[in-house]
Amino acid sequence: MLVSYFGVAQSYTEYATGSATDVVTNHEFGICMMGGASENDDAMTWFLEKANGGDVVVLRASGSDGYNDYMYSELGVTINSVTTFVIHNASGALQPYVLEKVANAEAIWFAGGDQYDYVSYFKDNAMEDVLNTFINVKQGVIGGTSAGMAILGGGYFSAENGTVTNAQALSNPYHNRMTLGYNDFLEIPFLEHVITDTHYDDPDRRARHAAFLARYATDNNTRAFGIACNEYTAVCIDSSGRAYVYGEYPDYPEYAYFLQSHCVGDYLPETCVDGQALTWNQGGEALKVAKIPGTYAADNYFDLTNWSDEQGATWEDWSVTNGSFSTASTVNPDCDLLSVADVDSVSIAVGPNPFQDILTITSQLTKFEVKLYDSFGKLISHYKNQSEIETSGLASGIYFLNVSAEGVQGNFKLVKD
């Protein structure tokens, strides 16, 4: 039976369409991110199909029921219900009824608005716990547009003090409007070291996004990554980590951007301090950016498991010198740390692989250096002339080990059980 109603509590407003009876379905994990204008119907269809006929919850801090009929009846995807909660304050996010509906959903969508409302209402409380359980335990599909996309990365621009312009970010990467959060809110697979941005048609976006990543790299001493969408573009990420790009290219210039700090040599900004203009140049190659057109059938993609494999991309170098932002054409960087080097010609072996508590390096070299990196290129440990490395304290996952001596180098991709 179709039911449509709205209810008002002091701290939230509810709009509900569809069945009032909860269902359990064979839903799938996924992430859907949109650039901030009207929704891309094909991407939204992808999002709803992941719910497999289940219940959708829309979370927003302003507006009303604009998504209800659109999701429930206008896209041709059968779902059980759509419930929109307009959350008025942090108390609204903590109401047991709201938390229960979010936990029982198969799909959760964050509307646009002011992302600081979401951060201040949902972070460090029971709503954050419910959302992260939904993402990582229940493994439902999650998504958002504009402000709703801005909060999905492991790093995020909170807009606590309002938006920030290119000029402000480049002239001082620690400007009081450069309010960033790091790995302390939503825990979404494939987005752990990513800062997202939207409305990329606006020329006042790319340079400030570079400044966001410069801050992330500096503050966390690790490589930084970014995903951004033009206003009518969408990125849909499946459970394998492949990000498909939806849009109406070539009819319109609709692109998604995948940014990563360069993975060879020193990837950190040369000058990223409070009160000084940003310099992140690194020979003009500070950021490697894949620009991918979004098509109707999402033929083009980017692989977030290695940040290298792609289809349909053109590559650019982005850099900042004394607050001046520059771009240039380039090619896929094929980052050394994210691939396995051919070491047949050098006398180096590393094992076992997979490993557990000990890694052993076998080599005829007497003087060598060993560097162990995590999957995002962050240096974990550094040794000299050491053939056994104790690894019991490492978490399970993928690691990269570099063994080097004068004229000899080997890179190894390793898995910790």
29 in helix, strand or coil?
Answer: coil
362 and 410 Cβ atoms separated by less than 8 Å:
no
Question: Is pTM, for the whole model, over 0.75?
Answer: yes
- Cα angle 332, 337, 341 (rounded to 5 degrees) comes to 90
CB within 8 Å of 168: residues ≥ 6 apart? 175, 177, 178, 208
- The secondary structure of 13-24 as a DSSP string is EEEEEE-SS---
- 191-220 average pLDDT score: 96
CATH 3.40.50.880 segments of the chain: 3-330
Q: Place 7 in a pLDDT band, splitting at 50, 70 and 90.
A: low
Query: pLDDT tens across 134-144, in order?
Result: 999 999 999 99
CATH 2.60.40.3080 segments of the chain: 340-416
User: CA 211 to CA 174: how far, in whole Å?
Assistant: 9
- 159-176 average pLDDT score: 97
Taking the CA atoms of 258, 262, 268 and 273 in sequence, report the sign of the dihedral they define. negative
Task: Please state which of the ranges 40-44, 158-162, 342-346, 388-392 shows the lowest mean pLDDT.
Answer: 342-346
pLDDT at position 415: 86
User: CA 115 to CA 131: how far, in whole Å?
Assistant: 16
Task: Please state which of the ranges 213-227, 260-274, 280-294, 313-327 shows the lowest mean pLDDT.
Answer: 260-274
Residue 232 has pLDDT above 50, yes or no: yes
Q: What share of the chain is helix, strand, coil (3-state, %, to 5)?
A: 20, 35, 45
- Cα angle 401, 190, 209 (rounded to 5 degrees) comes to 95
Residue 342 has pLDDT above 60, yes or no: no
Residue 383 has pLDDT above 60, yes or no: yes
Query: pLDDT tens across 94-133, in order?
Result: 999 999 999 999 999 999 999 999 999 999 999 999 999 9
Helices 126-133 and 96-104 cross at an angle (nearest 10°) of 10
Architecture of the domain delimited by 340-416: Sandwich (2.60)
- Which CATH number does 3-330 carry? 3.40.50.880
Mean pLDDT of the chain, nearest integer: 92
User: CA 235 to CA 32: how far, in whole Å?
Assistant: 6
